[in-house]
């Protein structure tokens, strides 16, 4: 989990400052959600058969060594 301290940890000097920090925090959260989505998009792709075939080949290679 990303540490939000540099956007939410500072003490605001005014109501405007507080609103600004809150806005920055929301934006960082939104980027975090999208970042995870970007990564999960690939994680959720079906694994190409080639990967499993290579691992099966590793077994054969070991036995034949």
Partner 1 sequence: MASTKPPAPPKPPSADDAGFKRELVTLIPHLRAFARTLTGDPTAADDLAQDAMMKAWDARASYQMGTNMKAWTFMILRNQFYSEKRRSWRQSQLDQEAAERTLVAVDDPEAPVALDELRMALNTLPEEQREALILVGAGGFAYEEAAAICQCAVGTVKSRVSRARRALLATLERGGYERDGRAAGDAMRSILADADRLSGAVRQG
Q: Which residues bind partner 1 (CB under 8 A)?
A: 1-3, 6, 24, 26-45, 47-48, 50-52, 54-55, 58-59, 62-65
How distant is the alpha carbon of residue 50 from its chain centre? 26
In whole angstroms, give the CA distance from residue 5 to residue 10.
Answer: 7
Q: How far is the CB of 50 from partner 1 (least distance, A)?
A: 7
Cβ proximity to partner 1: between 17 and 30 the closer is: 30
2's CB contacts (< 8 A; 6+ apart) are 28, 32
How distant is the alpha carbon of residue 40 from its chain centre? 8
Q: How far is the CB of 62 from partner 1 (least distance, A)?
A: 7
Q: How far is the CB of 59 from partner 1 (least distance, A)?
A: 6
């Amino acid at each position: 989990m990303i540490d939000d301290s540099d956007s939410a940890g500072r003490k605001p000097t005014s109501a405007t400052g507080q609103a600004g920090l809150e806005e920055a925090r929301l934006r960082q959260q939104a980027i975090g959600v999208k970042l995870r989505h970007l990564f999960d998009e690939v994680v959720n792709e079906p694994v190409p058969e080639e990967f499993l075939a290579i691992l099966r080949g590793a077994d054969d290679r070991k036995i034949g060594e």
